[in-house]
Amino acid sequence: MEAWLGLFLFWLGALYLALVHPLLPGWAWGLGVGGLALALYLRRRDEGLFWTGMVWAGWAIGAAFADLLGLAGLKLVGAGLGLFLAGDLHPRPEARSLGLALALAGLLVGLFEVGAAPCVGAALLVAGLALLYRPPGGSDAGSGAPGLEARYRRLLAWRKAEAERRGTTVDAVLSDAAVAELARIGDDPKALRRLLGRGREADARAIEAILRESPRG
């Protein structure tokens, strides 16, 4: 509870300094806050500090370009790219998706700022809806890719067994999004380890065996 409260107060102070305080430009405060959060993360290994630092660092870079070019949408682009990169370094498919969505939203704002036709925004909206309502598993699921469902079920069973063995929740072992992504990529050791991140070699070997056993049609 104290950690969450501390992070909340940290964010309040950062927002005040970056958005209200006139002493320095917002991007300078944002860069300082982001750097401080990342430095503290290296000492404490608190995930909240890592995500905070990456988002603020990305926002600060975007804000610097926004001040230079006069396009406020670049601030959102920077924050989105920071979140996307964080989700890539500490593999979280949902964070990458959210970061990409924020970056695209910032680009859309920028297009309107430079007077782009509203049809551009409509096209982006339609593209976003198409991605949101695409069947789970992407094109593989829609085309009935052989082995996809079998891989998914095997991964779910392994996750449940591991959670019971470790005495923790299934999400602590592997998130739903990660299970779906692993089932989609199939037998690709490099992508598997990239998704799991460092320090999970035992899990990677177990999942590799599961994916190789799945029928390929």
Low-confidence ranges of the chain (pLDDT < 50): 135-144, 214, 216-217
What is the reported pLDDT for 88? 80
Output the pLDDT for position 217.
42
Cβ neighbours of residue 176 closer than 8 Å, sequence gap 6 or more: none
The predicted structure's pLDDT at residue 216: 45
What pLDDT was estimated at residue 136?
Answer: 47
Helix (H, G, I), strand (E, B) or coil at 129: helix
pLDDT for 146: 56
pLDDT score, position 157: 92
Residue type, 72: A
For 3-30, what is each residue's pLDDT tens digit? 667 767 877 877 777 777 667 788 888 8
Which tens digits make up the pLDDT trace of 48-68?
888 888 998 999 999 899 888
How much is the pLDDT for 160?
Answer: 92
The pLDDT, as a whole number, for residue 20 is 75
Write down the pLDDT at residue 13. Answer: 79
